[in-house]
A = this chain, B = another copy of it.
Amino acid sequence: MTRRGTRSGEFEIIARYFAPLASGAPLAFGLTDDVALLRVRPGRELVITTDTIVAGVHFLSDDPPRTVAQKLLRVNLSDLAAKGATPRAYLMNCSFPRDITEDWLAAFAGGLAADQAEYGIVLIGGDTTATPGPLTLSLTAIGDVPQGGLLRRKGAKVGDGIWVSGNIGDAGLGLRGLKGEELGLSVSLAAHTVERYRIPQPRLALGIKLKGIAHAGLDVSDGLVADLGHMCEASNVGAEIFADGVPLSAASRRALAAGKATIGELLTAGDDYELIFAVAAKDEPRLGRIVSRCNVKATKIGQIIRGRGVAVRDLQGNELKLARRGYVHF
């Protein structure tokens, strides 16, 4: 790419790579008008969330640009999923190092385009700047929920079952593998963990259907124990979970068996982007019917109790001591 050190570079990037992503959004005015209009459908409310990812902090500098785009978008869609929201639109702020290439930008935009098609979401605005530092990307996602239908962190009740979607711990293993750690995994299992690290699967269909069933919910970004702790804090309750009941992939089970990972590491690794939610025992049959229609599994891993904090117990009921509570970015 010819980057001429002039501001027109910004306009060219926007026109070539980003404006086409807004072509399906008439209220974004082709990204030429500094603002976009947000319209609300009858009976719905708008929900907004934002996340920033920094090269070398939240993703690896040599991650494929397509998956960087997908991770950027999907970590925000995961926040919407955890609130029961349907994604509608997004804004994106990109600070590009000067050595970014045309190829990188094209693949990055391609990842966004693919996910726009998959999730029915469209770019409506943003800003593009240069930076002397690492690639820094912020994305602000807008979704909607039925009026009064927002799923909150608070609301979990003593006696509720604690449920989690998908598997826990894969993404943390993927990151460790990408950093060169030997985890005793086959190529296929290792590739699975890398994909889980790079391409979160926001649980949107499940999140939408949890309305009226889950008392509280959020997504796992900092690690299962840390994020469950956030739910407990907001809800003024405690939680106990059973390590042996936490759903693990074949890759995680293999790494455990090989002595390359501990259960504590898996429960506190970040980037799972699964949903944690609290459901009363009486609603478990209904939950089962919902889950079966969502192409994702859900597993009960413990229960909400009186008190504070999260206790992780083994099969004998003894509390495991964890070396850390959540993944450390900061």
Chain A 70-109, CB-CB to B under 8 Å as 1, else 0, gives: 0000000001101101000001011100000000000000
Determine whether the beta carbon of B46 is less than 8 Å from that of A38: yes
Mask for A135-158, Cβ within 8 A of B = 1, else 0?
010101010000000101110000
Residues of B within 8 A of A46 (CB): 37-40, 46
Whether A35 and B328, one on each chain, are in contact in the complex, defined by CB atoms closer than 8 angstroms, is no
**When each residue 248-274 of chain A gets 1 if its CB lies under 8 Å from chain B and 0 otherwise, what string results?**
000000000000000000000000000
Binary interface profile of A, 112-133, with partner B (CB < 8 Å = 1, else 0)? 0000000000001111111111
In the complex, A328 Cα to B129 Cα: how many Å? Answer: 11
Within 8 A of B (CB), among A22-45: 29, 32-40, 45
Bound-complex Cα distance A124 to B121 (A)? 22
B329 touches A153 (CB 8 A): no
Residue A33 contacts which of B50, B95, B153 (CB distance < 8 angstroms)?
Answer: B153
- Quick check: which of A51-59, A167-175, A187-195, A196-204 contacts chain B, the rest being far away? A51-59
Is B38's CB under 8 angstroms from A47's CB? Answer: yes
- Partner of A48 from the list B36, B52, B133, B222 (CB cut-off 8 Å) is B36
Q: Are B129 and A57 in contact (CB under 8 A)?
A: yes
| Chain multiplicity (copies) | 2
Whether A132 and B57, one on each chain, are in contact in the complex, defined by CB atoms closer than 8 angstroms, is: yes
A38 touches B48 (CB 8 A): yes
A91 touches B34 (CB 8 A): no
Question: In this assembly, does A186 line the interface, its C-beta being within 8 Å of a C-beta of chain B?
Answer: no
Question: Please, how many angstroms separate the alpha-carbon atoms of A150 and B48 in the complex?
Answer: 21
A326 interface contact, C-beta 8 A: yes
Q: List 13 A-B contacts (CB under 8 A).
A: A8-B330, A10-B329, A34-B218, A34-B219, A37-B150, A38-B46, A50-B91, A54-B132, A57-B131, A93-B138, A95-B136, A130-B329, A132-B134
Q: Measuring CB to CB, which residues of chain A are less than 8 angstroms from any residue of chain B? A: 5-10, 29, 32-40, 45-54, 56-58, 79-80, 82-83, 85, 91, 93-95, 124-134, 136, 138, 140, 142, 150, 152-154, 218-219, 222, 230, 234, 326-330
